[in-house]
Amino acid sequence: MDISATTTARAAGLRYTGDHQGGIARLGTPGKFRYADADGQPVRDDATLERIRALAIPPAWTDVWICPRANGHLQATGRDARGRKQYRYHARWRQVRDEVKYERMLSFGRALPAIRAAVARGMQLPGLPREKVLATIVHLLELTMMRIGNEEYARANKSFGLTTLRTRHLQVDGSAVEFHFKGKSGVRHDIRLSDRKLARVLARMRELPGQELFQYVDENGERHGVDSGDVNDYLREVTGEDYTAKDFRTWSGTLLAALALQAFEQVDSQAQAKKNIVQAIESVAKKLGNTPTICRKCYVHPAVLESYLEGSLLEGMRARAQQQLREELPALAPEEAAVLALLQQRLQGAPSIKPGVPAGTGPTA
């Protein structure tokens, strides 16, 4: 499923590069920046300086590395004001990676019925074996669209995701399930569900000793915690492909955007259509716990937005759901089948990228 970075770079007609290699350094202060090559010599080549300007590297970045090659897949790196590493990639690299990502989404959508069937089987197992706990996590991933979680973030920032939730974050009352916790970037999450079977499983997990909510009990009666790697391993086991927890958020973002746009009435102006897209993205971002910018950039397939602007999304949603894709995957909901058909149609109609053919005007973030 995954395509290596070097293969992607070649497909885009680029060289695979990294900041472990010699590069161009940024020296001086904002407004008076100057650049030196790996040998410490000043960079005076006009084309190189213009390329650097086009990268629009923020003045606040420190420890800036700039690729000496115009055809490097990675064009620049640096540290932002909070010390986080940031990247600037070549435009063709981003375009090829996006195509790969959305082809992956199409494949993931087709795999959903198998994932759901495995989850249903797993949640019916007696006790709290590994398969049952991981199936429950995947079920929650789809229901809630939570981030999967990272133990390092939980320890350092006291921010949590699904696999790092503590027992104190869960409340169960009959069939009512509630999660209350602080997520990434300090965003407060208050999630409420009504699911009697899920509530029973979660209540049993919460009764286990320890702070971690998600633990399984092996055949020897010993308890084990789980992390995002275990969840990804489970998805690989049930599908035979390298899907990850993040694929659920990407799929959900695209599906929610399509449904939000479908809810609008037909418009006769591009201006109103663009306003509707902004509203739809804001709605999806709120559900995913992202900013609208990140949501649109990372979690909503552009084919959905393009189809809406063209006026073909609304009229085609119902028809697509009745096409061969719906018959092929009857376990999918009609709107899911419609989105899959749209992705398939767009990918078949998209021109393939050929090495050396520009895919954009310049490197992007």
Q: What is the pLDDT of residues 172-221, one digit of tens each?
A: 999 999 999 999 888 899 999 999 999 999 999 999 999 999 999 999 99
Name the percent of the chain lying above pLDDT 70. 88
CB 91 within 8 A of CB 74: no
C-alpha span between 321 and 343 (Å, rounded): 13
Q: Is the pLDDT of residue 122 over 60?
A: yes
Q: What is the pLDDT of residues 270-300, one digit of tens each?
A: 899 999 999 999 999 998 888 899 899 889 9
Q: Which residue has the higher pLDDT, 330 or 244?
A: 244
Domains of the chain: 5-89 (3.30.66), 114-243 (3.90.15.10), 246-349 (1.10.132.120)
C-alpha span between 14 and 306 (Å, rounded): 28
Averaged pLDDT, 73-84: 90
CB 130 within 8 A of CB 41: no
CB 273 within 8 A of CB 308: yes
Q: Which residue has the higher pLDDT, 196 or 321?
A: 196
Q: Is the pLDDT of residue 364 over 80?
A: no
Tracing tokens 């992390």 back to the chain, one arrives at 227
**How, if at all, do strands 215-217 and 223-225 pair?**
antiparallel
pLDDT of residue 352: 40
Q: Which residue has the higher pLDDT, 203 or 3?
A: 203
Name the percent of the chain lying above pLDDT 90. 57
Averaged pLDDT, 30-41: 94
The DSSP result for 147-206, as a single string, is ----HHHHHHH----GGG-BGGGEEEETTEEEEEEE-GGG-EEEEEEE-HHHHHHHHHHH
Averaged pLDDT, 317-328: 54
Q: Kindly indicate the confidence band of residue 91, based on its pLDDT and cuts at 50, 70 and 90.
A: confident
Give Cα separations from 67 to 47, 48, 52 (angstroms): 13, 10, 9
pTM here is 0.72
Give Cα 324 distance to the centre of its chain: 28
Give Cα separations from 38 to 41, 48, 61 (angstroms): 7, 14, 19
CB 66 within 8 A of CB 76: yes
Can you point out the beta strands (E) in 295-348?
none
